[in-house]
Structure 1
């Protein structure tokens, strides 16, 4: 059993299967690269995104740096039942190839929604339904489906991670969809933690990161006060590098001392 810095490593006790959504860029890509040196070398990564080219490129990087790691990817729109089913099928295939001792599901995929609109402007039912399908229904159905094909059994540890935000706890003007989606996801996974005591559940807020999503936020937010605050953060150079926040999340999983179901922020 691997010992790191005097503490027990939860991620290296045996082969891991990690299902990572939103894996092709930004925080998801950094997570994939940060996980590889920390998990058992005979582990497997299932990378999920809508961008095939970026997934192929990331697969090549991982195979070059970590040749023992099994890497698979799925190009899928997780806002659809077909995308969820394709991801679950791919995970089932990996189950037959790897002696999985730890399942790690990281629900990273998500979107801002139309932040150029205030609450009273969100009148299009189809627009709101599509947003919630991708950002709330999708992680629920994907996680529950994966837990069904990896049921509780001796020798199998299961971790579920929800990538969340301070927006799950605080309202931000013109971010109705994003705040609502993140709050719903936090509560959803708190319920999972209450129902399934043996599953380790974590909602992790990675902080304001230097990503494409932040670029959209600081250029399209309808609320002028919020828009200026985001521009100031960017101008001061205080954005977090995705790799730095990814390292903190992997450290939390490795240490395994958080309260299941809790919301942990990068700055905590």
Structure 2
């Protein structure tokens, strides 16, 4: 049975990495899901990424499924983690009136698979970029999102103590977070770290007094092998066995199907907060 409060008419989704591919599929399937619950849902999508035109295309694709939704675009290079990054992320989360929404989501999709070689052949620059883009910015965004929630939602809770806010943090994980893949050493490492970070956040929020009025969960979702720009890079990686697997179309999962399965998992709400769930468990 689906938990309808997860798809409140007034819901807000921050989607990091939404300009194309799986990010676009997640946005479009979200629009479909909310429409199935509320025909005129006031869903708000906030896209964060580098490609402004791509994010606009994603917003328009989602609006075709749910005309009543609105979207905003924030350009941010998640690989450029400098002194200004904290302030920029704070501005993004401060741009929305969080207490005005009954459900708030942070959905991490941005990622970089390089270096696609054995670790001994990776450059220092590739290693640093992988950590910055996949882990450091991910951690900062999650931290600032939580801080903004704690600062803003208690006022709404005091005004209506019986109203429970739904909060979900979901990251697009990978089988690589739990299985080693030769010639994808950094990708495996950062994905495992992201999984653990959301497990730790789940534990922290269980004992956070200011979150006691929230329905809060984190989720690590492994969407499966999909035809994306990232997957095409893996097809050219250094290790022959990994190249062979990446080129085997029998492993592929359709982008829309995977996104739909993720939203179904969210709707059922049966997973434990902090869990890692693979698409193969849902097919």
TM-score, normalized by length of structure 2? 0.84
Matched, 1:227 2:243: yes
Matched, 1:9 2:4: yes
Find the counterpart in structure 2 of residue 253 from structure 1: 266
Matched, 1:24 2:41: no
Give the superposition deviation at 1:84. Answer: 5.7
Question: Retained in 2: the 8 A contact 1:74–1:87?
Answer: no
Secondary structure in 2 matching 1:199: strand
Question: Retained in 2: the 8 A contact 1:10–1:254?
Answer: no
Find the counterpart in structure 1 of residue 218 from structure 2: 201
Secondary structure in 2 matching 1:94: coil
Return the alpha-carbon distance in structure 1 between the equivalents of residues 95 and 67 of structure 2. Answer: 20
Cα 1:84–1:240 change in 2 (3 A) is: farther
Secondary structure in 2 matching 1:140: helix
Alignment of 1:35-74 (within 5 A): 35-39=30-34, 41-74=41-74
Find the counterpart in structure 1 of residue 180 from structure 2: 171
Give the superposition deviation at 1:63. Answer: 3.3
Give the superposition deviation at 1:83. Answer: 5.2
Question: Retained in 2: the 8 A contact 1:110–1:134?
Answer: yes
Give the superposition deviation at 1:89. Answer: 1.9
Give the superposition deviation at 1:157. Answer: 1.8
Return the alpha-carbon distance in structure 1 between the equivalents of residues 87 and 258 of structure 2. Answer: 30
Secondary structure in 2 matching 1:38: helix
Deviation track 1:102-142 (CA, whole Å, cap 9, x = no partner) reads 11111110010120x21112352x33122101100111110
Corresponding pairs, count: 256
Question: What value does the CA root-mean-square deviation take over the aligned residues?
Answer: 1.9
* Structure with the higher helix share, 1 or 2: 2
TM-score, normalized by length of structure 1? 0.89
Question: Retained in 1: the 8 A contact 2:45–2:70?
Answer: yes
Question: Retained in 2: the 8 A contact 1:157–1:199?
Answer: yes
Matched, 1:212 2:212: no
Give the superposition deviation at 1:223. Answer: 0.6
Alignment of 1:73-222 (within 5 A): 73-79=73-79, 80-81=81-82, 82=84, 85-95=87-97, 99-115=100-116, 117-124=117-124, 126-151=125-150, 153=154, 154=157, 155-197=164-206, 199-218=216-235, 220-222=236-238
Secondary structure in 1 matching 2:221: strand
Question: Which runs of 5 or more residues in structure 1 are unaligned?
Answer: 1-5
Question: Retained in 2: the 8 A contact 1:74–1:86?
Answer: no
Return the alpha-carbon distance in structure 2 between the equivalents of residues 137 and 119 of structure 1. Answer: 20
Deviates more, 1:251-260 or 1:150-159: 150-159
Return the alpha-carbon distance in structure 2 between the equivalents of residues 259 and 146 of structure 1. Answer: 21
Return the alpha-carbon distance in structure 1 between the equivalents of residues 33 and 107 of structure 2. Answer: 15
Give the superposition deviation at 1:67. Answer: 2.5
Give the superposition deviation at 1:78. Answer: 1.4
